[in-house]
Chains A and B, each alone.
Chain A
Amino acid sequence: MKLRDMVQGIRADVLYGEELLDSIDIEYAYGADLMSDVLAFARPGSLLLTGLTNIQIIRTAQMLDIPAVVFVRGKKPQEAAVKLASQIKMPVLLCQMSMFETCGILFAKGVLPCHIPDRGV
């Protein structure tokens, strides 16, 4: 799914990267406030959803080749985080909904979890 379609689906505001939305395709997503778990379990190329706002969110995403980050619960990332994201051309999206609702909408639209053990993924 194009990132632009996801943005519309969750009614997100684009804090950075409007011009990149059509060039990014996303198949999987990982939602967590624990970057330790993101590093351990998120799939490269997946979308990251989180309620944390510090610069390490962007660094963690960068290490895993995560193409974009959604900040949920109306959280706004810190200035240093947005600055780094713009340097590495990583779209920053803001969503007012809860993590649960945001993930639910994306799941209903066909975005997959990073790991589905019983399907061998």
Chain B
Amino acid sequence: MFEAPYVEEYSVQAGDFTAIGEASTKFRATLKMLGIPSEIVRRAAVVAYEAEMNALIHAGGGTLSMTVTPDHLEIRAADRGPGIPDIALAMQEGYSTASDEIRELGFGAGMGLPNIERNSDTMVIDTEVGAGTVLMATIRFSAAENQKSGEGRQAAEQ
């Protein structure tokens, strides 16, 4: 397929909420072009879309990047927003600080971070109140290692 890591990065800016998802759409197109299996592409698209939305909703924008290697991909969302004071609380399904404007679009239901975790093999959040947040999510390509998504989805239903 390819040997050197492939890196793609976009700056996402606040202001126009209708633009949410444009960067994630480009990631998705790249992964399809690279011949990545469709289940991996779907998981990566959901992770990127949720992360892009979080950066725009809560931090007024940031940087969204994707690194693709032969055996895994990483999605990184970095912002200089207010930070997350209580990560455990933010990880609870249903907890959200999103505005009414975002809720009217059908989002802000407090599913974003849990959904990113569910669709990733690893998720790391580095945040500092007043300084910003960096979220890093990894998805492995190996079939034996990427079972987490299916299990997570079932667990969430029960």
Contacts and interface: CB of A to CB of B under 8 A. Distances in A.
B35 interface: no
Contacts of B111: 36-37, 39-40
B109 interface: yes
Contacts of B50: 39
Interface in A25-66: 33-41, 44, 50, 52, 54-57, 59-60, 62-65
A62 B108 contact: no
Interface residues of A, number: 25
A44 B42 contact: yes
A54 B109 contact: no
A2 interface: no
A36 B156 contact: no
Contacts, number: 80
B42 A63 contact: yes
A50, A57, A65: residue with the most chain B Cβ atoms closer than 10 Å: A65
B21 A37 contact: no
What secondary structure prevails in chain B residues at the interface with A? helix
Interface residues of B, number: 30
A59 B21 contact: yes
Given A40-B156, A117-B158, A59 B105 contact: no
A115 interface: yes
A105 interface: no
B122 interface: no
A63 B45 contact: yes
Contacts of B20: 56, 59
Nearest to B115: A40
Interface of A is mostly: helix
Contacts of A44: 38-39, 42
Interface string B29-56: 0000000001100100110011000000
A50 to B, nearest CB: 8
15 contacts: A34-B109, A36-B108, A36-B109, A36-B111, A37-B111, A39-B49, A39-B115, A41-B156, A50-B106, A55-B18, A56-B107, A59-B21, A59-B49, A63-B24, A64-B46
